[in-house]
Amino acid sequence: MEFLRGQCQGAGRSTTWSIATWNFVLILAVTIAPRQIASTPLPALSTDTPAATGASGTEEPTPAENTTSSPDLRDFEVEGKWEILDVTTYDALVERFANGSEFLNYTAVSRWGNTCRKYVDYYYDTTDLQMTDNMNSLRHRTRYQASPPAYSNSWIDVTLANWVSDWDLIQYKGSPSRVGAIWGREEVGSRESEPDQPTSTAVIAACDLSYDAIRAMRREHPQLDCADLRPSLKVDDYRLRIGLEDEHNVLLFEVSLDRYILTDYLFSSWPFGAMEVEIEIAGEITEESVRSLGDIAAALEDEFPGLHRSTYSKGGLFLPEGEGTMAELMCGQDGWPCSEDYTCVYRVQRCDGVTDCSDGSDERQCPSPARTAEDR
């Protein structure tokens, strides 16, 4: 597959710039991002796995769905991704979200004045530092607040004077090549106003990945100078963003079209694109909130056959694999929501949409480990 042209587009307009033929991967990401609650402490996410109930030969009850939000929840995200295998589908998606267009019950509104914002991420492979368990990479993002023109053919080479480098938002990453992978993250923002507040060890234990982990790293390796780290991957990210508003002009979703240029430690570069839909839930996180995100995902798949569920995210809309707050909000302490239809199963059962059980079914039809042992 070939990516024939690169573009950084504003809503409703398109300008192309000529480069050599590119091999490409495009990913569509759907994110749930509950509104940040800045004054509350970090949540303690449980890593305990409740035992399954139910006797042999009887159907296990379904865990009750829970629609009560936690006051401690802080921007815990959920992502799923789709690969876009051809540039035609990519272009069609850009046109689909043009300024003023309608999608389901939402209106697309151009953000940032039809310009692209630039972000530069450096990923550092820190496996040899033996940092917190399951976290062997970190990210340093530089955000350029000034924006290159959306339609400039030289946007990729523009020099931006106004920028902000936020080491405060360094992340541990589960893999040095995290790009395209799913993750759950807790976004806590800058710690300048509360410099002594530590990163929650419970959050780190519950999720492979967490924001604001730079202080955890400095506690474990106080002599480490971040400037000495060698980046294993650089990502130049040029981002266009479209808002999706309801009939009351309330912003509910944001669609981000990202054009990446990845450069590895051997200085080999290749293009990478992504489209991200982010839901901002103004109230409680409920089953209805998650289902609304599912409606968008289903509508996109119906309208664009060129979208293919990505192996990176294990098939479409997905909930974080780190057990914790999000699953408990929907299904209670003993439950876990299936990615396909959001029905609740017990935590001991996995539901990834793959028929990988011994009886040829998905996890939700699998007997629990306790029942399997009894049947032997």
Q: Identify the band that residue 107 occupies on the pLDDT scale cut at 50, 70 and 90.
A: very high
For the entire predicted model, the pTM comes to 0.49
Looking at residue 101, its pLDDT comes to 92
The answer to the question of residue 225 being in a domain is yes
Looking at residue 73, its pLDDT comes to 35
Q: How far apart are CA 233 and CA 265, in angstroms?
A: 6
Looking at residue 241, its pLDDT comes to 77
Q: For the segment 346-356, what is each residue's pLDDT rounded down to a tens digit?
A: 666 665 566 65
The answer to the question of residue 346 being in a domain is no
Looking at residue 127, its pLDDT comes to 57
Tell me the mean pLDDT in the region 82-103. Answer: 74
Looking at residue 7, its pLDDT comes to 42
Looking at residue 64, its pLDDT comes to 45
Q: How far apart are CA 193 and CA 97, in angstroms?
A: 38
Pick the residue with more confidence: 96 or 368? 96
CB distance 279 to 256 below 8 Å: no
The answer to the question of residue 59 being in a domain is no
Tell me the mean pLDDT in the region 346-373. Answer: 57
Which is nearest to 73 in space by CA: 203, 216, 204?
A: 203
User: What does residue 184 show for φ and ψ, rounded to 5 degrees?
Assistant: -105, 135
Neighbours of 178 (CB within 10 A): 20
* 292 CB-near residues (< 8 Å, 6+ apart): 279
Q: Identify the band that residue 92 occupies on the pLDDT scale cut at 50, 70 and 90.
A: confident
Q: Identify the band that residue 102 occupies on the pLDDT scale cut at 50, 70 and 90.
A: very high
Greatest mean pLDDT among 42-46, 77-81, 306-310, 324-328 lies in 306-310
Q: Residue 111 burial (CB < 10 Å; 0-12/13-18/19+)? A: buried
Burial 84-99 (b: 16+ CB within 10 A, else e): beebebbbebbebbbb
The answer to the question of residue 285 being in a domain is yes
The DSSP symbol for 156 reads: G
Tell me the mean pLDDT in the region 284-305. Answer: 70
* Residue 152 clears pLDDT 90, i.e. is over it: no
Pick the residue with more confidence: 153 or 241? 241
Tell me the mean pLDDT in the region 341-363. Answer: 61
Which of 47-56, 216-225, 251-260 bottoms out in mean pLDDT, i.e. has the lowest? 47-56
The residue range of the domain holding 172 is: 6-45+74-332
Please provide the average confidence, as pLDDT, over all residues in the chain: 52
The answer to the question of residue 311 being in a domain is yes
The answer to the question of residue 53 being in a domain is no
The answer to the question of residue 350 being in a domain is no
* Residue 278 clears pLDDT 60, i.e. is over it: no
Q: Identify the band that residue 308 occupies on the pLDDT scale cut at 50, 70 and 90.
A: low
Looking at residue 67, its pLDDT comes to 40
Chain length of the chain: 376
Tell me the mean pLDDT in the region 307-316. Answer: 46
Looking at residue 358, its pLDDT comes to 56
CB distance 114 to 13 below 8 Å: yes
Looking at residue 137, its pLDDT comes to 56
The total of structural domains in the chain comes to: 1
Looking at residue 118, its pLDDT comes to 74
One-letter-per-residue 3-state SS of the chain: CCECCEECCCCCCCCEECCCCECCCEEEEEEEEECCCCCCCCCCCCCCCCCCCCCCCCCCCCCCCCCCCCCCCCCECEEEEEEECCHHHHHHHHHHCCCCCEECCEEEEECHHHCCEEEEEEEEECHHHCCCCCCCEEEEEEEECCCCCCCCCCHHHCCCCCEEEEEEEEEEECCCCCCCCCCCCECCCCCCCCCCCCCCHHHHHHCCCEECCHHHHHHHCCCCCHHHCCEEEEEEEEEEEEEEECCCCCEEEEEEEEEEEEEECCCCEEEEEEEEEEEEECCCCCHHHHHHHHHHHHHHHHHCCCEEECHHHCCECCCCCCCCHHHHHHHCCCEEECCCCCCEEECCCCCCCCCCCCCCCCHHHCCCHHHHHHHC
Q: For the segment 226-239, what is each residue's pLDDT rounded down to a tens digit?
A: 556 666 667 777 77
**Residue pointed to by tokens 């793959």:** 354
Q: Identify the band that residue 86 occupies on the pLDDT scale cut at 50, 70 and 90.
A: low
Which of 141-145, 185-189, 366-370 bottoms out in mean pLDDT, i.e. has the lowest? 185-189
Q: How far apart are CA 98 and CA 355, in angstroms?
A: 38
The answer to the question of residue 257 being in a domain is yes
